[in-house]
Structure 1
Amino acid sequence: MTHDNTHHGKVIDDATGTAKVGHEWDGIEELDTPLPRWWLWTFYASIVFALVYVVLYPAIPMLHSASKGVLGWSSRGVLAEEVAHEKAEHQGVRDAIAAIPIEALASDPKLQRAAIEGGRAAFKVNCVQCHGAGAAGAKGYPNLNDDDWLWGGDLATIQQTLVNGIRYPGNDATRSSLMPSFGKDGILTAAQVQDVVSHVRVLSKQDPANGSSRRGAQIFADNCAVCHGANGEGNRSVGAPKLSDKIWLYGGDRASLVNTVTNAHAGVMPAWTGRLDPVTIKMLAVYVHSLGGGEATPAPAAPAAAAPAAGAAQ
């Protein structure tokens, strides 16, 4: 039978030599076993560390900010320093890209590669939301990998499109075109819309000619050829798409074409000037041009021949 001893007012358990806390339940008593010394020292060290950290670093939340810490360190400050360092390292390349005309970048392969990589990074941040990660586009958003361009696919034209956007409000130089809503505005009847769609599907080699398409050919000539061309070849000066291939922005099936002719579309692309700096826009243009559908810079137009002097030709 175990007997307990008393030491300095504490009841000591004979079996373990440990004081009891005085709690008992159903004959079971709790021992006041001390914590391991190593654990206690670790605990005290943690408290000291926390107090020192609060003094040195931002730690105490306040209403609109936090305590600054005597060292003045912050993760935002470190990020700002790293960004400034990266900018300084790349500033020389950016200055070189800014100084060279965009059409001449190909003459410096190293600089062109730098522009493409810079444009790739900018595209991932600003353009993938509409054009997709692979720039393949979606319904209403052009595929930038092919060679079908509404306004032109040479470097300067792509840059101009990025600078001023498409139908972007508040930019007087934005690229703008407006296709009439032929059905909604009553310019064509529903039957005429069907006929002109039949003709467009023949132009794009999706359907053979038929009675509907033959009627639609005249409707097309009277209403559509002025922008899209007599044979649906398109017109880049007004952003009119080519209709003689099978590349479609809003779909080339009959239902989609009927909807386009009836209601028209007027997609908007932001003007990136003011949102992105000129060098980043230039790099974006070079990157888009490099995706596979970029076109050569057009040759300058030959100067017009001088008019003969009065009386020279009789």
Structure 2
Amino acid sequence: MAKNPADNKQRIDQPTGTAFVGHEWDGIEELNTPLPRWWLWTFYLTIVWSLVYVVLYPAWPLVNSATEGVLKWTSRGQLAAEMKAAESDRAPLVNALAAIPVEQLVSDQKLYQGAVAGGSAAFKVHCVQCHGSGAIGSKGYPNLNDDDWLWGGDIGAIHYTLTHGIRNPDHPETRQSQMPAFDGILTPAEISSVVSHVQSLSGKAKPNAKGAEIFANNCASCHGTDGKGLREFGAPNLTDNIWLYGSDKATLTQTIKLSRQGVMPRWNDKLDSVTIKMLAAYVHSLGGGEATPAAAAPAPATMEAKAANGQP
């Protein structure tokens, strides 16, 4: 039963010394305990602050935009300003990289280290999906930390591969090699013999005379008579312990029987020339990069000349 409010003016809660307000529900009564003044003033200040914020900054959403605020500030505008400042800071490095032929980059260590740093960032965006965050690769994707290269490991060769890709059917300057599928060319027994011979080249099986003969007649033209590969064809070295797909019998059988036709995208239609140079420097720095040959290959120089003339 509700109490008479007049009675509650005289009623004090003995344990706390606080007056009752006169509300009761199912035997539970409410004490007259007002909020602390500091809390109330803080609450009022937050209301004032919110009103000031609404006036100064974007706050109310509209159909296609939002209220601009007196200060005209936006997070996109701040980002654009920061990006412009970053581009301004990078401009000397970018201009220097644009001017230097890629084959000469390694000789300028300060510029080379700047390119490596930029290439590391670009690699994390564009290359880790296949080569991994540590560039160690995986099945079908080369490890870029070793010294085993299909097409060449000097910075010019790496730059050319990045620029033009591998087996891009829409690009005439792409790296191109094709290992035939020997299913139907060789019998299963002959393929098995070749597998044994290939494994013997790296000490994984005993020599197979029949396989060596078949290899000499069908495979040596690209992989070399000694099996160490020929870079002009992108043919891998079969005598070491570095394998792109695997060295077990089942994997090698599949490779020889059905072939492999891995594709690496060309980046000259996706990235600017300076970013590609940075990527080339980064990959070259990973541990397996080779010295630039005394007579640099003409292909990268041709590419540089085209870039200077504004050609793709």
Task: Provide the residue aligned with 2:158 in structure 1.
Answer: 158
Shift of 1:11: 5.0
Shift of 1:12: 2.0
Shift of 1:247: 1.2
CA separation of 1:215 and 1:13: change in aligned 2, threshold 3 A: farther
Task: Provide the residue aligned with 2:302 in structure 1.
Answer: none
Shift of 1:149: 0.8
Shift of 1:27: 4.0
Task: Provide the residue aligned with 1:108 in structure 2.
Answer: 108
CA separation of 1:224 and 1:75: change in aligned 2, threshold 3 A: same
Alignment root-mean-square deviation, CA:
2.2
From 3, 9, 13, give the equivalent of 1:12: 9
Q: Distance in 2 between matches of 1:89 and 1:264?
A: 48
In the alignment of these two chains, the number of paired residues is 290
Q: Distance in 2 between matches of 1:73 and 1:293?
A: 49
SS of match in other structure, 2:24: strand
Counterpart of 1:73, as a letter, is W
CA separation of 1:103 and 1:17: change in aligned 2, threshold 3 A: closer
Task: Provide the residue aligned with 2:231 in structure 1.
Answer: 236
From 182, 191, 195, give the equivalent of 1:193: 191
Q: Distance in 1 between matches of 2:257 and 2:264?
A: 22
CA separation of 1:93 and 1:36: change in aligned 2, threshold 3 A: same
Task: Provide the residue aligned with 1:53 in structure 2.
Answer: 53
Residue 72 of structure 2 is aligned to residue 72 of structure 1: yes
CA separation of 1:4 and 1:256: change in aligned 2, threshold 3 A: same
Shift of 1:108: 2.2
User: Which deviates the most, 52-61 or 148-157?
Assistant: 52-61
Q: Deviations over 1:116-149 (max 9, x none)?
A: 1111221122212211222221111111111111
Q: Distance in 2 between matches of 1:33 and 1:112?
A: 72
TM-score normalized by structure 2?
A: 0.85
Task: Provide the residue aligned with 1:311 in structure 2.
Answer: none
Q: Does structure 2 conserve the Cα–Cα contact (< 8 Å) formed by 1:4 and 1:13?
A: no
Q: Distance in 2 between matches of 1:66 and 1:242?
A: 62
Identity %: 59
CA separation of 1:27 and 1:153: change in aligned 2, threshold 3 A: closer
Task: Provide the residue aligned with 2:294 in structure 1.
Answer: 299
CA separation of 1:5 and 1:123: change in aligned 2, threshold 3 A: closer
Q: Does structure 2 conserve the Cα–Cα contact (< 8 Å) formed by 1:5 and 1:14?
A: no
From 273, 277, 280, give the equivalent of 1:285: 280
Residue 204 of structure 2 is aligned to residue 206 of structure 1: yes
CA separation of 1:160 and 1:17: change in aligned 2, threshold 3 A: closer
Residue 95 of structure 2 is aligned to residue 121 of structure 1: no
